[in-house]
Amino acid sequence: MTSASSSPRRVTLIPGDGIGPEVVAAARSVVEAAGAPIEWEVVRAGREVFAEGNATGVSAAAIESLKRNGVALKGPLETPIGHGGKSANVTLRKFFETYGNTRPVRELPGIQTPFSGRGIDFVVVRENVEDLYAGIEHMQTATVAQCLKLVSEKGCEKISRLAFEVALSEGRRSVTCVTKANIMKLTEGMLKRVFERVASDYPDIEPRYMLVDNCAHQLVRHPESFDVLVTTNMNGDILSDLASGLVGGLGIAPGANIGRDLAMFEAVHGTAPDIAGRDMANPTAMLLSAVLMLRHLQMFELADRVEAAVLLTLERGPRTGDIAGGMEACGTAAFTDAIIGNLGRAPDGWKPRTHRPLHLPEVAEGPDRTPAERMRCVGIDVFVDSELSPQDLGASISNLMEGSPVRLKMISNRGTVVYPLTGAPTDCVDHWRCRFALREPGASFTDDLVLDVLARIAGRHRYMHLEKLCDLDGQRGYALAQGEE
Ligand code: NAP
């Protein structure tokens, strides 16, 4: 029945919160009824672990089990509401560096949508740990907040390679790299540049490029034209939910979080507390996540067997209330029993996609090192909180720099030059970026000069943040402000 070894494979099982235990139990019983040689190790995470005072929401036993087994099926976990409570879901993804979130999006039989019949069948591969979701935020002034968008070359390499490997393992022809590289040339542009380089290692897969706004448009206009999409964390978060909506919504959307040390399979939906414990939850998303898990474990025939039974049940019924579509609704347990009864059968004309083992990219662990000679500091941006007008602030800071080898080059407000005055009616807030350059270009902007600039400014203004402006290998490694020359 399996193409892998027939000795049982141990898998960590996290029942989760809300409807989690019901949908996880459904998935477990179908996988067992299909004959999968899996030994489950049940561990706790979520609400009750938070309640015991564990601030991560993930028990030590869960971490040990995940480390040991490397594969998990996970129910949804409730996120504590209020300040300080971090999501246990995100903690798990970060602890184990599951850098890739993959979500297949496919039209399912029996689920009628405005897109039914179009043959939608693609995968969204989303970077899962970097970008704006690294969670590095600071109040800069009382009224201006900042969130750092961190994108690393290594992160881009891992996610690009994973996308091509997913394409290879599923016999797909193209991978579309989706970015906002036209605006964020350094961060979003990094994914595009790295993807371009990585693509040359996969000559049989067509690399494509699309801006994220156009991608949202094309996903609605021509969803059948996509094969694999790869994108940064926040773009992927939004696009993958949009994509789920095309084929019937979050209740039927499966997903996987993939890393070097852990592959964790879970439904896209949350704990749905309103229907928890009422035999109303739809276990389809969790079941299809278990199908992804079986494929990851190279139990391809078993995966096809479970998938076929789920699809046949969706096609013929009975179905749970959320997707009943005119049929009489059944409960979670009856739906699960129907699927078990359908094991060994498939919808007419259904042909499973041929899958090959997913080869995980090998990208060196540990920090990338940048030799000091590659980076040359040519200036600094000092961010200042001030109630002055651009003209008065510019005059004040220019005066403070008298006699220094450093000059005030410009001041911008939310990215637009406001000093020297442009004549444009730019609306300003109390968060000013003062850009400093050397009076003699070509000289070195030493740390002593940086400290001297800060000392001069701090005497008169409140600064809250500093960025060094560096050239990297002789190329400008920072963005110009709107209107800056
Ligand atoms: P949600 O749990 O996905 O539920 C939203 C609504 O969708 C539910 O009230 C229910 O709608 C419907 N629904 C979702 N899954 C369903 C299923 N399997 N069967 C039938 N209906 C389903 O989203 P939420 O209310 O925003 O989040 C609730 C909690 O879950 C939060 O604590 C959130 O942080 C957490 N969450 C966890 C994960 C995760 O663990 N990966 C993901 C998302 C959210 P009806 O009103 O129509 O019954």
Average pLDDT over residues 398-411: 97
Residue where a domain terminates, one of 243, 272, 302: 243
CA distance 387 to 381: 19
Which of 86, 94, 154, 241 is labelled catalytic? 241
Nearest-CA residue for ligand 1 atom 43 is 270
Best probe residue, ligand 1, of 252, 264, 275, 279 (max atoms within 8 Å of C-beta)? 275
Q: Is 241 a catalytic residue?
A: yes
Dist. CA 267–CA 325, nearest whole Å: 21
Backbone region of residue 423 per phi and psi (left: phi > 0; alpha: psi in -120 to 50; beta: other values):
left
Residue 46: how many other CB atoms lie within 10 Å: 28
Of the CA atoms within 13 Å of residue 29, those in its CB half-sphere come to 17
Give every CB contact of residue 150 below 8 A, 6+ residues apart in sequence.
130, 131, 134, 136, 187
Q: Tell me: do 128 and 226 sit in the same domain.
A: yes
Say whether both 56 and 76 belong to one domain.
Answer: yes
The one catalytic residue in 74, 99, 158, 180 is 180
**Are 156 and 301 found together in one domain?**
no
Match 């609704």 to its residue by tokens.
329
- Chain CA centroid to CA 393, Å: 40
- Between the CA of 272 and the centroid of ligand 1 the distance, in Å, is 4
Q: Are residues 271 and 360 in the same domain?
A: yes
DSSP E strand stretches across 271-374: 319-320, 329-330
The residue type of 206 is E
In a domain, 300, yes or no: yes
395 assigned to some structural domain:
yes
Among 64, 125, 62, which residue's Cα sits nearest to residue 98? 125
Domain end: 201, 227, 243, which one? 243
* Separation CA 209–CA 179 (nearest Å): 8
Q: Does a structural domain hold residue 481?
A: no
> What is the CATH number for 229?
3.40.718.10
The answer to whether residue 289 is domain-embedded is: yes
CA distance 346 to 339: 11
User: What is the whole-number distance in angstroms between the Cα of residue 303 and the centre of ligand 1?
Assistant: 25
Q: What are phi and psi of 207, to 5 degrees?
A: -85, 135
* Pair (294, 322) in one structural domain: yes
What phi and psi values does residue 377 have, to the nearest 5 degrees? Answer: -75, 125
Are the CB atoms for 466 and 380 separated by under 8 Å?
yes
Residue 278's domain comprises: 1-111+248-364
CATH number at residue 386: 3.30.70.1570
User: Does residue 416 fall inside a structural domain?
Assistant: yes
Give residue 468's pLDDT band: very low, low, confident or very high (50, 70, 90): very high
* Residue 39 buriedness (CB in 10 A; 0-12 / 13-18 / 19+): exposed
Q: How far does residue 278's CA lie from ligand 1's centre (Å)?
A: 14
280 — pLDDT class (breaks 50, 70, 90): very high
| Residue of the CA atom closest to atom 23 of ligand 1 | 270
Q: What is the pLDDT of residues 171-228, one digit of tens each?
A: 999 999 999 999 999 999 999 999 999 999 999 999 999 999 999 999 999 999 999 9
| Average model confidence (pLDDT) across the chain | 94
Instruction: Compute, in angstroms, the gap from residue 36 CA to the centroid of ligand 1.
Output: 28
The number of helices, as runs of H, and strands, as runs of E, in the chain is 13, 20
Same domain, residue pair 357 and 395:
no
Query: Within a domain: residue 483?
Result: no
If one counts the domains in the chain, the total is: 3
- Structure token pair of residue 281: 């939850």
- Are residues 98 and 134 located together in one domain of the fold? no
Please tell me the distance from the alpha carbon of residue 8 to that of residue 200, in angstroms, as a whole number.
39
Does one domain contain both 384 and 346?
no
**Residues 12-41, mean pLDDT to the nearest whole number:** 98
pLDDT for 367 equals 78
* Percent of all residues in the chain with a pLDDT value above 70, rounded to a whole number: 98
Residue 232 and residue 124 in one domain:
yes
- Write the pLDDT tens digit of every residue in 286-310: 999 999 999 999 999 999 999 999 9
- The pLDDT score that the predictor gives to residue 275 is 96
Mean pLDDT over 423-451 rounds to 93
Protein residues with CB under 6 Å of any ligand 1 atom: 19, 23, 76-79, 89, 250-251, 266, 269-272, 274-275, 281-282, 285, 322
DSSP class of 93 = H
Query: Do residues 26 and 251 touch, judged by C-beta distance below 8 A?
Result: no
Which segments of 206-331 does DSSP mark as H helices, in order? 212-221, 233-247, 284-296, 300-316
Do 239 and 260 lie in one domain? The reply is no
Domain boundary among 203, 218, 243: 243
Q: Whose CA is nearest to atom 1 of ligand 1?
A: 270
Instruction: Please indicate, yes or no, whether residues 268 and 336 belong to a single structural domain of this protein.
Output: yes
For residues 313 and 355, membership in a common domain is answered with yes
Give residue for tokens 């019901």.
Answer: 22
User: In 3D, which of 227, 148, 247, 33 has the Cα closest to residue 465?
Assistant: 148
Q: What is the pLDDT of residue 21?
A: 98
Q: Give the model confidence (pLDDT) of 406-428 as tens digits.
A: 999 999 999 999 999 888 889 99
So what's the pLDDT on residue 87?
87
